[in-house]
Structure 1
């Protein structure tokens, strides 16, 4: 194993949460207010950022919320949905072996860090991570900035010696272009992107039990 620093996304990479949480949250929020989602809700929201999606739901479904009220309710909904989430196969053993081999690890996720910590503490793996980076705004994964910050905070200097683990194509592409060792994880919500992910990843895994340690 040559990678001594490991940067992990959470949703869809370590946790099987993309469908349960991020596809389920808008419907759960609408249900709180007695609204019935339209058939194309998921397809519509996929084209929007989080802010735009909030405005769309408030307007389209006449929700009695302003932006801040929406965010408060959505956080409550998401926190409840995360209570159902489990780890992907092989995660626990992979993290234990990485620590045993001296690797340092962190989380770099679009999900706010306090929620990540709550989820991973419940699942018993928070102890493996030195810190959490919230990849939003100027620190979006569309930019290499969060990955470079994570690398340096983990004590690394060269991207090639640091693994970035992702299920999302746009984030994986950013890490690839910045020279990181890229581990892609297959997820049902990004199935359409699997061929593109496979092309740019150093390893593309169906789950963590398939990691090639000799190459990592």
Structure 2
């Protein structure tokens, strides 16, 4: 595929933030005296921040409203996005190559757009993307294809002509089922899902530095 239209996930795909996201819900609950089970933590994984905040209220009785919980979590993540979350090795060179080939690039992320932008601007790569689209902006997480379809619409492309780069199996499945060309990217936090993701994807990138 010539990859003239590309949709990139951010966390775990472009930047190495998944360890912090993986521990955020657990740390937030433990600080409030709760001990979540692995299943409860796993349920949080595919959710948007709003869905996750509602889940915490309903499951653990955390005091709302959801927007207050989101603000508290945003404050924790914003500090990391603005200071210490790194770009994955080789990503910038890969983006440069795509732009030199005239490709349109965007980010579709479950992370709130202001946080995503703050991170990518600090890392010096935000300008490679035509726009950043958050799942919160479309109102649905990546278990549904809305964010990918809206991103393609904004770029003026059809799903079959658009590459979606994802590290999460459930997200790649959603994109694949919606007709997108899927590119699997390994992420240590999802190591157990890699065989299935590699089998599902139209293409895999094991190392951005070797993908040029």
Q: Same fold (TM over 0.5)?
A: yes
For 2:153, the equivalent position in structure 1 comes to 152
**Cα distance change of structure 1 residues 51 and 159 upon mapping to structure 2, 3 Å threshold:** closer
Aligned CA-pair RMSD: 2.5
Query: Deviation string for 1:6-43 (max 9, x for gaps)?
Result: 100000000000112x1232355457xx54663x5555
Q: 1:179 to 1:61 in 2, by over 3 A?
A: closer
CA contact (8 A) 2:186 2:194 kept: yes
Quick check: which has more Rg, 1 or 2?
1
Give the TM-score taking structure 1 as reference length: 0.83
Match of 1:69 in 2: 68
Q: How many aligned residue pairs are there?
A: 207
Structure 2 runs not aligned, ≥5 long: none
Match of 1:178 in 2: 178
List, as ranges, runs of 4+ consecutive aligned residues in structure 1 with deviation greater than 6 Å.
Answer: 59-62
Uncovered stretches (5+) of structure 1, i.e. residues with no partner: none
The CA distance in 1 between the partners of 2:51 and 2:7, in whole Å, is: 28
Bigger drift between 164-173 and 75-84 goes to 75-84
Is the 8 Å Cα contact of residues 164 and 182 (structure 2) preserved in structure 1? yes
Provide the TM-score with structure 2 as the length reference: 0.84
